[in-house]
Structure 1
Amino acid sequence: MLTAGEVAGLIAATGWIVLVCVMVMVLVKLARLLKETTKAVSDLNNRLAPLLDDMSVTVNETNRQLIAVEAITKDVQQVSGHAAKLSAVTQTIFTGPLIKVSSIGYGVRRAIEARRRPGSRARAGGRSR
């Protein structure tokens, strides 16, 4: 039969064997995880470089388009300023004389009406006061 020390040694050895087996399984799973992670990072790296190149091209093209749009907006702003000035000049040129012509026409019409009716001077004078 086995002595108490031998049984204790046998239990300890069995415990160590079980512990080593568990540790080996954990290390094997960890190795698989690291292998898959390395593969995923490698795939990501292979896909990332072209994506960054495309993004750089897109950003450069966008900057170029923004410069063109900025030039267009400056031109539109300049044209709208010229249109506002032209509108003001047109208003000054046409509205002043138009009002004067209209006033002269009204005065001439009133004068003609006053000459056609005898005695309308008194009424015309009374109305204007």
Structure 2
Amino acid sequence: MAMMTQVDDLVGEAERLVRDQVWILSPRHRAVIVKAALDLHAAVGAPQIQKALPLRSRLEHLREALAAVAIALAHVHGHTAWFLGAAATALTPVLHWRALPADDGHAFGAVAPTPQQYAEAEEAVRRLQSALAHIASA
């Protein structure tokens, strides 16, 4: 399943749970989600900014976004942890990407993503950031 589809499905489920008051954020969890949203926004900028960056920087930013989700996950439990865990899982393809050539053929299985994959991953991070901000304000 494509990364953006996974994030959209995840966000849809999260928004339903919040709307139906199945997932009620504690003040501490709300603070963690707010920080994660800010960290994601700082990691991945607007599409025109990201596209202008070298591939190495784009990949670094995507990995920073994944790290922000993982750090937030380490501080929560219950619905918040389940949501962040699923978000981290959706973003894991970036862990198998490389921006540098593997001239010797030894890249530990890392592959060079296409420009479309970079764009999709960045859009998935933006969607996740927007959802976190919305959930935190609910």
Work out whether the TM-score is over 0.5.
no
Q: Which one has more relative contact order, counting CA pairs under 8 Å at least 6 apart? A: 2
- TM range, normalised to the smaller chain? under 0.3
CA radius of gyration, larger in? 1
The structure in which a higher percent of residues are helix is: 1
With normalisation by structure 1, the TM-score equals 0.20
